Structure 1
């Protein structure tokens, strides 16, 4: 049977076995579409049914999270942890607290995490978790009570050699602090390496909060460099205004680019003079406000446009850093028509399949999430190293390690694409490189 037919049949099996999980289906299809030439070159992968095995999580945990809000009302949420693949190391991946979280979303994120973690070159497997709890508008005490209840169940499934969660959307240092405190209380152990993204005073690593945004921009720099150019003088649009977006904007400006727009769920902010990243950080991270406040405080001709798509703005570089499927095929057409040179996914799967197809067909430089935003989890692995050795590295040393990792990720994706006759196809290069590293380890372990 033809390889494409075989992969198509596998995809149909995945859809049938995992109904009503469109995000997971999308993530699986995106990987499978790259692998026909790989399976043809490595028949041993097919014989061992590695594709079937890699699409099935090793463990899926779903649990109830009861807690009491400030009014004394009992609230019930659902918690998830999908431990997807541990061929390269302990499961590693963030926790997301957002109303959109369900099993399909967590599985899509965990599946992506397998290959992202593989690409990082660090000894970590793939997993993901979270809850449909929304921390927005909740008091610190409510968030503490929720996090303690969440960890009261989760703690029995994690550990520095088993599964190491981190933060994600809705989970920052505050939430991680409450969860780590509860883990420490329940286990009677100060096991720093069980969570990453921690505060610097209690086992955290320098550059961790900057790492995903910085790493995405380093990947863009490498893509541009391979074409003989750089970020100097280029206009950049960054969707989102959370942690990833803020530090992506900061690094773009350090490397000579001008970020002219960012966004939140209410609309986008346009500042032709260049976004004041410090002001965005003040509004979002300290005041926990909305970027609609920015224009009134900046008073320099910047404008907040409510309810509109940020991708209507002309730019040379686009960095989607908000959430999945935010950049559509229509948005991609607009960006390409406006002369975009490079797009890199700072968020997880922010571009729809139609958008990715257009970027690849038109030769637009496109850095997929599993490569472009791998800096975050790579630096989490560096945090684990520091915890294991009871060490703490300087900011400059930590950033240099991050930079070296992103350069190596780009090199491996670029060279793999060239090896298979797909020059410049970073989607193919990332999927193939990430898959082969995991597959080789799975072959070595036998059928488990």
Structure 2
């Protein structure tokens, strides 16, 4: 109790001058007299300053505030002439109140409960701003575990990418071919003289044309197969890439203590819901917003590669905007892995049963991210970073749904989609 008393006194001192003291500006003469000891004009106890226009102690200040807010009227059991002092001030509330009023204490200077609470919150915020924000040992441990899991499950050099089936089956060296392909595309864009791309034009006709109404089913199937050979040239490569990325995400989750503590059904539901989003976050680490190219070690990807896998513009355009927005935030690796974990521990995924546990885990991760930003970043606009990251997480949810629709459509036409991806996007628990 004695350890708390100095802090309580400090809080009362901070609150009184601008809060419920109500004394207004003191005169020069009064200010000069403040150096000497003061006594309460009501009971003679040691005064703590001017309260409601009179010099009083904390006890009489609180009594006057409570008495003025109560509808009850006090009655003196004696002759309304009780002498109020420190020892008997509790015995007659009526005479004590009259003494308060006689020395000039004013009811109109009492702050409302709302105003007092607002003042206290202001003092609390001010104190928090003055104290440096630091990560707790528990938060440091969470970040270190996430970083270790990320580094063990995902190779930032992308050396494995060259083992996938090539982006263009006619080219043996997919790295040289794709770098030349992307460079030519953006060189054309820079001089504002884009050449017509026959393959993309054909794809456009594919994505905008519904099933022929006049052709027979046999002709329709033949046309779909023909378009599939033209459009889906990079699909085998993306099938291998997706399988590789999904395995990384699964292994990432298995390395997290909070994830392993969940029941297996919830683990599966969370992975099925978050895998595509975590893959997006992974790829953002390689994105160059100047050229709109994903520089994944030996291979460089551009938007046309995804189009040649069968994906459509109403997914790819928002995805490009997302990558540009997120990359411009210049996230630290710690912020990237926390973002992945927040996405993973989403309690509203289909099939989740233990919502409270997962919600608590996500809250811990979100607070860790917020504290990391406040403690590790110094730029003035750092307080805008956390809501921007949360906005990107929300945007990924809508892209996740559209991605699933387009993958299922591609699988119907060209069954080259990764079986593991189909398992991830399936609705079965």
TM over 0.5, shorter chain: no
TM-score tier by shorter-chain length is under 0.3
Larger Rg belongs to = 2
Q: TM-score, normalised by structure 2?
A: 0.23
Higher strand share: 1
